[in-house]
Structure formats: structure tokens, C-alpha cells
């Protein structure tokens, strides 16, 4: 079926005004042509969002922490089936409203370059290759594999070079080097577009080298459609074209801004700027051919989603196939795999038959399960509830105390002061489980929650002082402490690492987060999560927030010593690695690697390989080039043929061209740091 031809024929029957109306995200019906109204805005970051009941999977940063693209693919499948189920119900009303359609504005594949960025937990972390393979898996899961139709449209965002500060995103101009641009900021876009035939791309708010991203011909035409070969449609971020004349000052008014965006290749406007397309046309800023190009792309997409056909196989997905038991089980599996064990002096796994105190302001907080851009799961299990159910089922007991407010320190004399309750609970317990950190109201998008005055960004990476004081008071009692850090980003865990017996990082884990945490704490499952970003020791380790140079940023370029490096994560068992051989192939390199479970527990293991740059200054000093999650029973050995693709090996030179490394190189297994690698091998490239 030639959808482009069909789209061209349908668009040819429209008046110019009708065509222009279809370039707005809330496209009205054209009844004379049998075209229903359609609202393009829908969200699916880690579940169908803002549309009532839906499964809630771990936040994107948690999905990245699984280090398992195959699991992320399964999540993408589940999310898209729920989106279809809801659409199949909504379409009986003759059109769809906001958050009811098949065009999901996800995933967010921007690089989490600075842990202060509030939206960082929407991403897959700080590494371009991890972001690329995880994002590609999610896109493939979302869009399906039918030869004719797409299950939903995935949308890569935000194109490009966008990762804070949120407070200045409507006026900020980013000027990265060409090496950083292609090696870091555009790598995942380039990879996913070529691998996954993604349907759509969303432009960013900011300027890139002086030009607003949604109106940059160099960015959208030369790089996106030209160099990367993108064939889909481009949508603006919401209000981004308004920013041309009201934030960036690069256009005098709405008609000029709208014309600039359309000519650059932005087909669909989220916002009101394209209401001025008629003025832009009448004043000669746009031609009808400019309009046709975009509208044809948009209707080709709608046709590929089966909106005008009766034979689309996805129409048969039942209208009630959302928030199912199967998807809850998948959410729990993903949440378990996303939890990262950072320290364990032998206290874990715990015996559930003992007496526990669960303390902390995020322990019973539903918000820490959901992250942002989430739906409304019919059932949620907080971290505290998961622990209680596990312990009480085994005959143990649990005392609970909030201990402090999440951030407020100075309380009025009439307000609750829960510290004493926490001290009593801890003194009565055998072991204290402290759940401290943030919830999504403290790190998010511009306008979100408590940090709205900072645009959603964090001022630093510190745990709120009132929570640290609670931790210090509990630590004085001398009881064993398991410290559960809850956040969507890096926090300074130096004090926890020093004083607690065990430390775990729990990224916003989804509706099943409490059960997942209990699975790990009490040893039903061995932890296998890995950090998708560096955990620094101090905010002082970070360059200025608005500096987009990659110098001294992320594990690839950081010159200091992190508390916990990218890719770090402990297990309840142990693994040994040994390289067998390596050979160069037409498609990259194949490295034969043996991984043995040398401990006493069955466990998953995230197998990772890193390439050291040697003397080539164009390359990052070290970078991830391979990952695969495997399950190995205690005592078993698994032999892997690690196929390392050219895309993982390539690097960008000083003018932004991709090159292949050559010569003798060091490959590290299991760690990005040479001193903690589980095996090393010199290979010839």
C-alpha cells in the first residue's frame, strides 16, 4: 500500500485553509472528506499517560538502569498495546481529544549531562550508546513489526542538544563543538533513526548555534532528513515556535516564525503559532507547496496508523486491554531489575522474620513510584507497603515512621514533628530501613512542583538537610541501617556510603515498586541493576550547569573520582570474566567472552564492555561499546560471542564526521574504570 500516494491524493482535495488547519496539533475534522478530528498530543514515556487507568512502568531512567534493551522492548510493546486499546475505545466518539491518540511523544533521548537537570529522569542516562540501544528497543516495541501498519508512532525528543537549565530553555542558545554535537548530543538520534525507522521527531525549545531548533534548516533538513535519512514528520515542542519572537528574538512576529519553522521542515505545531500560517501565505512568506509537503507527511502517518482503514490488525486489540495483570507483572520485573545495589557489608539479603523499622519521608510516598508523564494505575504498592507485606507474611514485624518532612526543616510549634517517633521505632527494631531522597515534585520540567521557581531543576545534588539530620540521629543508635536512596538522578550519597551497612538506589520504580524493593531486600531476586549515570561526591565536581561542553562531564570525560561510577552495581553472587579471542569482521568486532557465576545464587548479570581511547584525543577516554543482560545459575558458565557493531565503535572528529578507531586498543569488561574491570584485553582495530 502506497500511503504517500494516498496521502497526496487526499491532500489534493483540500482547500488551502483546510490544509493549514491540519498542521496544528488539535487538527479539526474535515467532514466533507470523511476526515475525523485528531489531537496529536499523547504521552507514553513509561506507560500511557494522562488518560486514566494505565500500567505504570519504571521511569525512563529506571528502564535504563536495567541495562536490558530486550526488557525495554517488551515494555514498549505493552505501552503501545494499551495506547491502542484506549484509542479503540475513544474512536467511537468520531474523533480523539488530547491524550487519546496513537502518536506518542516519547521517548526522551536527550543526554543527562548534568545531574541538576530536573528532566533527567525522563532520559536513559548520560551515555550516548546506552541511550541509543535502549531508545531503539523502546521505539521498536512501541511501533510494532507489522509490514503495513504501525501500532503507534514513537517520537524522539528533544531535537536537539537540550538538557537544561529549564528556566532558560525558551531563550537559551547552545553552542557545542562539532565533536560534542555528534559524539554526544546527536549520536542516539542518528542511531535510532537509521535502525528503527522512527515515525516522528520533536524539536527542542532552545537555539542551536543561534537558530531556534524548530526553525533550523541546517538541523532539520541538512542533518535530520539529509545526513540521518529521517523520513517521518517533525513536531514542535509545545510553544517552541512562539519562542522565536517572544524568547529568542529571532523573528519579528508569529507569521514570520511560523514560516521559518515550516520552511525548515517542522510539519506540526504544538501551540498556537500556526494559526498565523494564512498571514504568512498571504504576505509571500510561504507557498502552498510548503504547506502541501508537511500535510502530506502528516496524513501519510495517520494512514500508516490505520486510521482510515478497516483491515488494521491493531483495531482488534480489546478496548479493556490496559493495566492488566500481565503488564503489572512486567512492571514488577522491570522494577526489580532497575534497583542498583551500591554497598553491602553482608547484611543483605535480609531475613523477613525479624523486627524492622521503616523510616523516611518517601517510604510511603506514592509519587516516588510514578515519576512524571504517568498514567493512573489501579493499584500501587509503596516501598513501605511492599516491605510490610513481605515481613508480616514471614512472621516478622514492622514499625513505620516518617521521621521528617521531605524538605521542610523549620516547623511551627503546632506542626507535626515526627523525629521522636522515628527514634522510638528504630530503638525497638533489629534493623532499620531508611528510605530517603526526592520525589518528582523536586526534579522535573519547567513549572513542575516544589522547584518550579528554578524551572524544575535542582540547585545541587545533596539530599535535603532535614533528611540527613534524621539519618544522623538514627545512626547514633548503632542499629544496622539499610539505606534506600530514592530519586531520578544522582544524589550525594557519601554519608550513606560511610555510615550505612547497605545502600541501594531506587529510581522511580513504577506501580509495583514496593514489591520490587522487597524482592531485592529479602533475597527473592539478586539485584542486577546498573547505574546509567555517574554518582558524584559533590556538586563541586560539576562544571557550570549552562556549560554544554562535555569537558569533565559524565564518566567518559570526568577527571575526578566518583563515589559510584557509571555502570556500577553489586549482586548477591559473584561473577568472573575471561576473554577468549577477538576478531575483526565486516560489521565490527566479535569478542568471545566467558562469564561464570562463581557464587551461590542464581542471578542476572549485565555484561558490559568498554573501549579505552589510547592516544586518540578525538575519542572519549573510555566509552561503552557493548551490553547484554543474561541469567546465569550458580556455578554455571556462559560463553558470549559479543558482536560489537561499527556504530558502537565510531567516534566524531573535530568537524563532526564519524570515524572508525584503529590500532591497538584496550577493552575493559564489567567496569568503565581500569582499576575495577573484571577482565582486560588488548585488541587490534
Q: Which residues are catalytic?
A: 237, 443
d(CA 531, CA 224): 30
Q: Which residue stretches of 183-310 are H helix? A: 187-196, 217, 242-246, 254-264, 277-282, 288-304
Cα separations (Å) of 453 from 72, 444, 448, 457? 34, 12, 9, 9
d(CA 79, CA 226): 31
Query: Are residues 57 and 510 in contact, defined by beta-carbon separation less than 8 angstroms?
Result: yes
**Of the candidates 526, 531, 535, 614, which has an alpha carbon nearest to the alpha carbon of residue 575?**
526
d(CA 241, CA 25): 13
State the DSSP string of 418-471: THHHHHHHHHH-SEEEEEEE--GGGS-STT-SGGGGGTT--S-SPPPHHHHHHH
In this structure, how many other beta carbons lie within 10 angstroms of the beta carbon of residue 649?
21
User: What is the SS3 assignment for 147?
Assistant: coil
Q: Which three cell numbers stand for residue 173?
A: 542558545
CA dihedral (483, 118, 138, 309) positive or negative: positive
User: What is the SS3 assignment for 87?
Assistant: helix
Can you tell me which residue has the cell 521511569?
59
Cα separations (Å) of 585 from 208, 374, 582, 642, 648? 37, 43, 10, 12, 14
Q: Which three cell numbers stand for residue 660?
A: 572508525
Q: Which three cell numbers stand for residue 458?
A: 535542582
* Max intra-chain CA distance, the chain: 78
d(CA 685, CA 682): 10
End-to-end Cα, the chain, rounded Å: 44
Amino acid at each position: 500500500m502506497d500511503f504517500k500516494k494516498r496521502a497526496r491524493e487526499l491532500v489534493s482535495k483540500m482547500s488551502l485553509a483546510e490544509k493549514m488547519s491540519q498542521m496544528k496539533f488539535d487538527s479539526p475534522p474535515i467532514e466533507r472528506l470523511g476526515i475525523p478530528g485528531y489531537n496529536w498530543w499523547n504521552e507514553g514515556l513509561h506507560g500511557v499517560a494522562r488518560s486514566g487507568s494505565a500500567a505504570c512502568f519504571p521511569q525512563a531512567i529506571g528502564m535504563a538502569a536495567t541495562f536490558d534493551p530486550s526488557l525495554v522492548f517488551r515494555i514498549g510493546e505493552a505501552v503501545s498495546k494499551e495506547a491502542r486499546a484506549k484509542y479503540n475505545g475513544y474512536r467511537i466518539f468520531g474523533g480523539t481529544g488530547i491524550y487519546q491518540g496513537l502518536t506518542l511523544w516519547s521517548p526522551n533521548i536527550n543526554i543527562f549531562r548534568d545531574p541538576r537537570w530536573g528532566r533527567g529522569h525522563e532520559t536513559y542516562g548520560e551515555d550516548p550508546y546506552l541511550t541509543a540501544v535502549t531508545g531503539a528497543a523502546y521505539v521498536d516495541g512501541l511501533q510494532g513489526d507489522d509490514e503495513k501498519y504501525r501500532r503507534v508512532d514513537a517520537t524522539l525528543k528533544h531535537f536537539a542538544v537540550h538538557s537544561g537549565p529549564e528556566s532558560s530553555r525558551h531563550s537559551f542558545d547552545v553552542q557545542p563543538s562539532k565533536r560534542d554535537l555528534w559524539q554526544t548530543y546527536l549520536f542516539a538520534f542518528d542511531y535510532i533513526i537509521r535502525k528503527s525507522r522512527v515515525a516522528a521527531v520533536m524539536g527542542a525549545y532552545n537555539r542551536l548555534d543561534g537558530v531556534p531548533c524548530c526553525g533550523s534548516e541546517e538541523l532539520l533538513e541538512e542533518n535530520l532528513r539529509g545526513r540521518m535519512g529521517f523520513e517521518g514528520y517533525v513536531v514542535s515542542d509545545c510553544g517552541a515556535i512562539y519562542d522565536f519572537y517572544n524568547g529568542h528574538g529571532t523573528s519579528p512576529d508569529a507569521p514570520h516564525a511560523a514560516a521559518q519553522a515550516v520552511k525548515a521542515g517542522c510539519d506540526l505545531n504544538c501551540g498556537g503559532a500556526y494559526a498565523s500560517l494564512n498571514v504568512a501565505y498571504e504576505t509571500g512568506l510561504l507557498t502552498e507547496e510548503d504547506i502541501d509537503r508537511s500535510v502530506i507527511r502528516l496524513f501519510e502517518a495517520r494512514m500508516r496508523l490505520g486510521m482510515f482503514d478497516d483491515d488494521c490488525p491493531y483495531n482488534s486489540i480489546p478496548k479493556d486491554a490496559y493495566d492488566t495483570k500481565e503488564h503489572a507483572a512486567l512492571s514488577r520485573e522491570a522494577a526489580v531489575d532497575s534497583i542498583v545495589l551500591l554497598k553491602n557489608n553482608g547484611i543483605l539479603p535480609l531475613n523477613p522474620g525479624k523486627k524492622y523499622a521503616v523510616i523516611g519521608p518517601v517510604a510511603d510516598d506514592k509519587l516516588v513510584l510514578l515519576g512524571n508523564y504517568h498514567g493512573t494505575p489501579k493499584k500501587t504498592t509503596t516501598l513501605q507497603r511492599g516491605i510490610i507485606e513481605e515481613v508480616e507474611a514471614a512472621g516478622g514485624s514492622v514499625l513505620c515512621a516518617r521521621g521528617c518532612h521531605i524538605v521542610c526543616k523549620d516547623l511551627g510549634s503546632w506542626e507535626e514533628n515526627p523525629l521522636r517517633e522515628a527514634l522510638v521505632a528504630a530503638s525497638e527494631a533489629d534493623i532499620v530501613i531508611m528510605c530517603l531522597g526526592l520525589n518528582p515534585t523536586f526534579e522535573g520540567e519547567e513549572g513542575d512542583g516544589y522547584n518550579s521557581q528554578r524551572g524544575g531543576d535542582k540547585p545541587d545534588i545533596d539530599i535535603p538537610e532535614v533528611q540527613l539530620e534524621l539519618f544522623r540521629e538514627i545512626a547514633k543508635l548503632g542499629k544496622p541501617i539499610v539505606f534506600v536512596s530514592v530519586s531520578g538522578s544522582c544524589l550525594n550519597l557519601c554519608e550513606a556510603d560511610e555510615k550505612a551497612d547497605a545502600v541501594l538506589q531506587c529510581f522511580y520504580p513504577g506501580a509495583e515498586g514496593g514489591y520490587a524493593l522487597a524482592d531485592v531486600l529479602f533475597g527473592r531476586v539478586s539485584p542486577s541493576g546498573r547505574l546509567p549515570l555517574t554518582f558524584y561526591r559533590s556538586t563541586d565536581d560539576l562544571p557550570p550547569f549552562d556549560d554544554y561542553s562535555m569537558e569533565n562531564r559524565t564518566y567518559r570525560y570526568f577527571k575526578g573520582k566518583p563515589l559510584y561510577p557509571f555502570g556500577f552495581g553489586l549482586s548477591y553472587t559473584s561473577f568472573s570474566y575471561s576473554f577468549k579471542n577477538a576478531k575483526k569482521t565486516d560489521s565490527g568486532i566479535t569478542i568471545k567472552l566467558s562469564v561464570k557465576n562463581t557464587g551461590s545464587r542464581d542471578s542476572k548479570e549485565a555484561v558490559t564492555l568498554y573501549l579505552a581511547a589510547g592516544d586518540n584525543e578525538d575519542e572519549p577516554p573510555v566509552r561503552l561499546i557493548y551490553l547484554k543482560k543474561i541469567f546465569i545459575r550458580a556455578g554455571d558458565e556462559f560463553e558470549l560471542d559479543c558482536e560489537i557493531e561499527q556504530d558502537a565503535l565510531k567516534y566524531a572528529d573535530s568537524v563532526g564526521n564519524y570515524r572508525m578507531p584503529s590500532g591497538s586498543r584496550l577493552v575493559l569488561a564489567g567496569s568503565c574504570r581500569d582499576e575495577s574491570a573484571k577482565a582486560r584485553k588488548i585488541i587490534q582495530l
